[in-house]
Amino acid sequence: MKLVQIAEKSSIAEFFRESVGKWSSQRRYYTLPDGKTKEVASIITIRFLEAGCDELQKLAQMHNLDVSMVLSCGAEVYWESKNAVTEAKESEGSTLFGALGNKLYRDRGFATSKPITAEYHFPNAKTLCLRTEYNGSVFEEELKFISDKYRTRQSVISRSGEQVMIGQYLEKRIEG
């Protein structure tokens, strides 16, 4: 195994462990090019998943990974979202993440219920960058710990080489 892969493996596990807990997420989506905005508030609960656990084995099967390829770690994320202005319920659900090499395997994507993969890297120990492509769209995300109580996220969604939406998030740890 290459030194970079070992570093990425320990970095992703550390990032997932640091993410464990309950978070209050305030986010704003900007639709481009018209600039329309939407504000959403969420409660997000994150649980760390150890290599070999049932959830990661099921995720590996969804992606048709060889049984010898064990996802090194992962996270289970639950969310409940509402429109921050009207208080109307937006969505609720969960997703699984599992890491192997520089890929994150997911049981679903932002805009699909089908299993997807993302490539990831760490420009520094507190910042995770993801790139996901499916259904003609590209999702570029950055998650950054500001402290043990705050993190920011930014998502840029592109289609046919043009940015169509930007999401900006401030997340505050409320438990864990």
- Confidence class of residue 52 from pLDDT cuts 50, 70 and 90? very high
Tokens of 37: 């905005």
Q: Are 145 and 171 in contact (CB under 8 A)?
A: no
- Confidence class of residue 9 from pLDDT cuts 50, 70 and 90? low
- Confidence class of residue 67 from pLDDT cuts 50, 70 and 90? confident
Give the bridge partners for 138, in sequence order.
133, 158
pLDDT at 4: 41
Residue in 126, 132, 13, 27 with CA at minimum distance from that of residue 85:
27
Instruction: Please report, for residues 43, 77, 126, the alpha-carbon distance to residue 142 in angstroms, rounded to integers and kept in the order given.
Output: 19, 17, 10
pTM confidence score: 0.89
Q: 3-class secondary structure for the chain?
A: CCHHHHHHHHHHHHHHHHHCEEEEEEEEEEECCCCEEEEEEEEEEEEEEECCCHHHHHHHHHCCCCCCCCCCEEEEEEEEEEECCCCCEEEEEEEEEEEECCEEEECCECCECCCEEEEEEEEECCEEEEEEEECCEEEEEEEEECCCCEEEEEEEEEECCEEEEEEEEEEEEEEC
* ω into 115 cis (within 30 of 0): no
pLDDT at 1: 40
Tokens of 176: 């864990």
Tokens of 99: 């890491």
Is the pLDDT assigned to residue 114 strictly greater than 60?
A: yes
With a pLDDT cut of 70, the percent of the chain lying above it is: 95
Residue with tokens 């490539």: 119
CATH number of 3-175: 2.40.128.20
For the beta carbon of residue 143, count every other beta carbon within 10 angstroms: 19
| Residues 120-169 pLDDT 10s | 999 999 999 999 999 999 999 999 999 999 999 999 999 999 999 999 99
